[in-house]
Amino acid sequence: MVISRTKKLEALSNFTKLVGDDPVLAYLMGFLTGQVDRVHFVRDPRGADISLKLSQDRLTVWPGEPFRANVGGVMMPHPIAFVRAVGQAHTERQICVSLNFELADEAEWYQEVLLPDVSHVQLGIQAAEQEAKSLRKEMDHALDIYAECKRLMEQSGSERRGELDYYMSVAQTQMKLLSAQLEEVSAQLRQYQKN
């Protein structure tokens, strides 16, 4: 499942408002905002190459650690060290973020972007790649129909012209629709691969 960039930015912005009085965490949230295409919100970040757990539970009896991060199996002691390590990491490595704050289960803006675990991040990439492959195959089929109709039109003359024009028009419409869908899926893939 691919979460839209806008929804991720909204989630980062809303959480930044919760931790904004801490300049180091505000800096970290700014960094994550700049890396939004690599950021994935997960309920359970275990198993992620790059994981980050942020907690803003001031009102609980036993608050969680405000910051816990791991980059390539190495625990990061501080948000600044995390930013430095992630900034030097290969840009294809995804960042799995888990947020803990009061009423997180009720915050619609967070629930909209939340994936159950790290496996869903990879499944999203694989699903987008499979969808792109399927759309290309459909486009090839529509292009074949168009080319065949054009060839038949040149051979047969005017008796089938109306029917062939219709099929060529349908094929053109289908190619435009599939092209738009492919562009959307390609943009999603670029989100994963660009950074």
Predicted pLDDT at 143: 93
Element (H, E) at 43: strand 39-44
Whether residue 42 contacts residue 97, with contact meaning beta carbons closer than 8 Å, is answered with yes
What is the spatial distance between Cα 125 and Cα 118, in angstroms, rounded to a whole number?
A: 12
Cα dist. 180→61, 132, 174 in Å? Answer: 52, 11, 10
pTM of the complete model: 0.63
Predicted pLDDT at 195: 41
Instruction: Work out the end-to-end distance of the chain between its first and last CA atoms, rounded to an integer number of angstroms.
Output: 18
Closest CA to 113 of 189, 17, 9: 9
Q: Which residue stretches of the chain have pLDDT < 50?
A: 195
Predicted pLDDT at 189: 74
What is the spatial distance between Cα 142 and Cα 140, in angstroms, rounded to a whole number?
A: 6
Length of the chain: 195
What is the spatial distance between Cα 191 and Cα 5, in angstroms, rounded to a whole number?
A: 8
Predicted pLDDT at 109: 93
Predicted pLDDT at 2: 64
Predicted pLDDT at 63: 55
Predicted pLDDT at 22: 83
